[in-house]
Amino acid sequence: MKKVNRILTVFIFIFLYIPMAVLIVGSFNEGKSLSRFDGFTFQQYAELFRDRDLLKLLGNSLLIAVLSSLIATVFGTLAALGIQSLGPKMRRTVMRLTDIPMTNPEIVTGISLSLLFVFIGTKMLGQQDCLTFWTLLIAHITFNLPYVILNVMPKLSQLDHSLTDAAMDLGCTPRQAFFKVTLHEIMPGIAAGLIMAFTMSLDDFVISYFVSGLDFVTLPVEIYSYTKKPIPPKIYAMFTLLFLLILVLMVTMNLLQLRADRKKTQQLMEKG
Amino acid sequence: MKRNKTVLLSVPYIVWMVVFTLIPLGVVAYYAFTDPDTGAFTWSNIRELGTFLPVFGESVLYSVVSALICLLLGYPVAYYIAHRSPMVQKLLYMLVMLPMCMSFLLRTLAWVGLLQDTGIINNTLDAIGIGRLKLIRTPGAVILGMVYNYLPYMILPLYAILVKIDSRLIEAAEDLGCTPAQTFLKVTMPLSTPGIVSGMTMVFVPAVSTFYISQKLGSPDTMLIGDVIERMYKQGNNANLGAALSLLLMILVFVCTGIMNKLTGSDGEDVVVV
pLDDT (tens digit per residue) in B186-208: 899 999 998 999 899 999 999 99
3-class DSSP state of A259? helix
pLDDT (tens digit per residue) in A50-71: 999 999 999 999 999 999 999 9
pLDDT (tens digit per residue) in B13-49: 999 999 999 999 999 999 999 998 888 899 989 998 9
Spatial contact of A113 and A142, defined as CB atoms under 8 Å apart: yes
Checking if the pLDDT of B243 tops 50, the result is yes
Checking if the pLDDT of B237 tops 80, the result is no
Checking if the pLDDT of B8 tops 70, the result is yes
- The percent of residues above 70 in pLDDT, for chain A, comes to 98
DSSP string across chain B: -HHHHHHTTHHHHHHHHIIIIIHHHHHHHHHHTB-TTT--B-SHHHHHGGGGHHHHHHHHHHHHHHHHHHHHHHHHHHHHHHTS-HHHHHHHHHHHHGGGGS-HHHHHHHHHHHHSTTSHHHHHHHHTTS-----SSSHHHHHHHHHHHHHHHHHHHHHHHHTTS-HHHHHHHHHTT--HHHHIIIIIHHHTHHHHHHHHHHHHHHHHT-SSHHHHHS-TT---HHHHHHIIIIIS--HHHHHHHHHHHHHHHHHHHHHHHHHTT--STTPPP-
Q: How many CB atoms lie within 10 A of CB A208?
A: 26
d(CA B176, CA B170) in angstroms, rounded, equals 10
Q: How many CB atoms lie within 10 A of CB B251?
A: 10
Q: B21 vs A34: CB contact, 8 Å cut-off?
A: no
| Chain A environment of B89 (Cβ under 8 Å) | none
Q: B90 vs A258: CB contact, 8 Å cut-off?
A: yes
Which of B136, B151, B148 is closest to B222 using CA atoms? Answer: B136
d(CA B172, CA B178) in angstroms, rounded, equals 9
Which of A246, A235, A222 is closest to A29 using CA atoms? Answer: A235
Cα separation of the two ends of chain B: 35
Tell me which residues of chain B, numbers 218 to 237, contact chain A at a CB-CB cutoff of 8 Å.
226, 229-230, 233-234
Report the predicted TM-score, pTM, of the whole model to 2 decimal places: 0.90
Provide the CA B21 distance to its chain's centre, in angstroms: 20
Q: Among A13, A78, A105, whose Cβ lies nearest the Cβ of B205?
A: A105
Residues with Cβ within 8 Å of B34's Cβ and at least 6 positions away in sequence, in order, are B40, B41, B42, B240
Residues with Cβ within 8 Å of B161's Cβ and at least 6 positions away in sequence, in order, are B191, B192, B194, B195, B272
Tell me which residues of chain A, numbers 178 to 207, contact chain B at a CB-CB cutoff of 8 Å.
199-200, 202-203, 205-206
- The percent of residues above 70 in pLDDT, for chain B, comes to 95
Bin B116: left if φ > 0, else alpha if -120 < ψ < 50, else beta. beta
What pLDDT does residue B145 have? 97
Spatial contact of B206 and B37, defined as CB atoms under 8 Å apart: no
d(CA B116, CA B141) in angstroms, rounded, equals 10
- The percent of residues above 90 in pLDDT, for chain A, comes to 58
Q: Among the CATH numbers 1.10.10.10, 3.40.190.10, 1.10.357.10, 1.10.3720.10, which is that of B56-263?
A: 1.10.3720.10
What pLDDT does residue B269 have? 44
Tell me which residues of chain A, numbers 208 to 267, contact chain B at a CB-CB cutoff of 8 Å.
209-210, 219-220, 223-224, 227, 231, 235-236, 239, 242-243, 246-247, 250-251, 254, 257-258
Which of B92, B64, B66 is closest to B78 using CA atoms? Answer: B92
Task: Tell me how far CA of residue A156 lies from CA of A78, A188, B200, in angstroms.
Answer: 11, 11, 29
* Mean pLDDT score of chain B: 89
B208 touches chain A (CB under 8 A): yes
d(CA B96, CA B78) in angstroms, rounded, equals 10
ipTM of the complex: 0.89
- What single-letter DSSP state applies at residue A226? G
3-class DSSP state of A29? strand
Spatial contact of A107 and B231, defined as CB atoms under 8 Å apart: no
Q: How many CB atoms lie within 10 A of CB A213?
A: 14
CATH class assigned to A56-271: mainly alpha
pLDDT (tens digit per residue) in B149-185: 999 999 999 999 999 998 899 899 989 999 988 998 9
Spatial contact of B166 and B191, defined as CB atoms under 8 Å apart: no
d(CA B52, CA B144) in angstroms, rounded, equals 24
What pLDDT does residue B259 have? 83
Interface test with B, best of A108, A113, A198 (most B CBs within 10 A): A108
Q: B205 vs A113: CB contact, 8 Å cut-off?
A: no
Which of A14, A258, A254 is closest to B77 using CA atoms? Answer: A14
Of the listed ranges A117-126, A241-250, B186-195, B197-206, the least confidently predicted one is A117-126
Could you tell me where in chain A the CATH 1.10.3720.10 domains are found?
56-271
Q: Min CA distance, B257 vs chain A (Å)?
A: 9
What pLDDT does residue B1 have? 41
Checking if the pLDDT of A120 tops 70, the result is yes
Q: Min CA distance, B269 vs chain A (Å)?
A: 10
Q: A94 vs B10: CB contact, 8 Å cut-off?
A: yes
pLDDT band at B266 (very low <50, low <70, confident <90, very high): low
